[in-house]
Amino acid sequence: MTVDRTQVVLVVDDSRVVRKVARRILEARGFTVEEAEDGSRALEACRRAMPGSVLLDWNMPVMNGLDFLKALREEFGPGNPPVLFCTTENDIDRIEQAIVHGAQEFIMKPFDEEILLGKFEQVGLL
Amino acid sequence: MTPLGFETLATLLHRGSGLSIGPDKLYLLETRLAPILRAHALPDLDALAIRLRGAAPELERAVVEAMTTNESSFFRDDKPFAHVRTQALPRLHATRPPGARLRIWSAAASTGQEAYSLAIIVAENRALLGTREVEIVGTDIAREPLARAREGLFTQFEVQRGLPMQMLVRYFRKDGGNWRIAEAIRDMVSFREWNLLGDLRPLGTFDLIFCRNVLIYFDTPTKARALEAMARQLAPDGLLYLGGAETVLGVSDRFASLAGDRAVYGLTPPTAAPQAAVPQMRPLAAVR
Ligand SMILES: C[S@@+](CC[C@H](N)C(=O)[O-])C[C@H]1O[C@@H](n2cnc3c(N)ncnc32)[C@H](O)[C@@H]1O
For chain A, domain boundaries: 5-112
Rounded to whole angstroms, the Cα distance separating B286 from B288 reads: 7
Rounded to whole angstroms, the Cα distance separating B209 from B192 reads: 15
Residues with CB under 6 A from ligand 1: B 17-18, 68-72, 76, 108, 110, 114, 140-142, 145, 195-197, 212-214, 243
Q: For residue B22, is pLDDT > 70?
A: yes
Closest residue to A99, CB basis, from B157, B166, B288: B166
Q: What pLDDT is attached to residue B271?
A: 58
Q: Residues of chain A with pLDDT > 90: what percent?
A: 87
pLDDT in tens, B196-221: 999 999 999 999 999 999 999 999 99
B237: helix, strand or coil? strand
Average pLDDT over residues A108-116: 92
Give the best residue of B165, B170, B171 to mutate against chain A (max A CB count within 10 A).
B165
How sure is the predictor about A8, in pLDDT bands with cuts at 50, 70 and 90? very high
For residues B204 and B233, the answer to whether their CB atoms sit within 8 Å is yes
Euclidean distance between the first and the last CA atom of chain B, given in angstroms as a whole number: 48
Encoded amino acid at B143, one letter: R
pLDDT in tens, B113-169: 999 999 999 999 999 999 999 999 999 999 999 999 999 999 999 999 999 999 999
Average pLDDT over residues B179-188: 97
Contacting residues of A for B174, CB less than 8 Å apart = 90-92
Closest residue to A106, CB basis, from B161, B165, B174: B165
Q: Touching check for B286 and chain A: CB below 8 Å?
A: no
Q: What pLDDT is attached to residue A22?
A: 97
Q: For residue B279, is pLDDT > 50?
A: no
Q: What pLDDT is attached to residue B260?
A: 72
Pick the CATH number of A5-112 from 3.90.78.10, 3.20.20.140, 3.40.50.2300, 3.40.1180.10: 3.40.50.2300
Rounded to whole angstroms, the Cα distance separating B192 from B171 reads: 23
A106: helix, strand or coil? strand
B174 and A92 within 8 Å at the Cβ level: the answer is yes
Beta strands in chain B (DSSP E): 102-106, 134-140, 153-154, 172-175, 178-181, 189-193, 206-211, 234-242, 255-257, 264-267
Average pLDDT over residues A102-114: 93
Q: Touching check for B40 and chain A: CB below 8 Å?
A: no
Give the best residue of A122, A123, A125 to mutate against chain B (max B CB count within 10 A).
A122
Q: What pLDDT is attached to residue B281?
A: 45
Residue owning the nearest CA to atom 9 of ligand 1: B72
**Higher local confidence (pLDDT), B141 or B262:** B141
What's the mean pLDDT when you consider all of chain B?
A: 93
Own/partner pairs, B31-40, CB within 8 angstroms, 24+ separation: B32/B66, B32/B67, B33/B63, B33/B66, B33/B67, B35/B66, B36/B62, B36/B63, B36/B66
Chain A residue with minimum CA distance to B78: A122
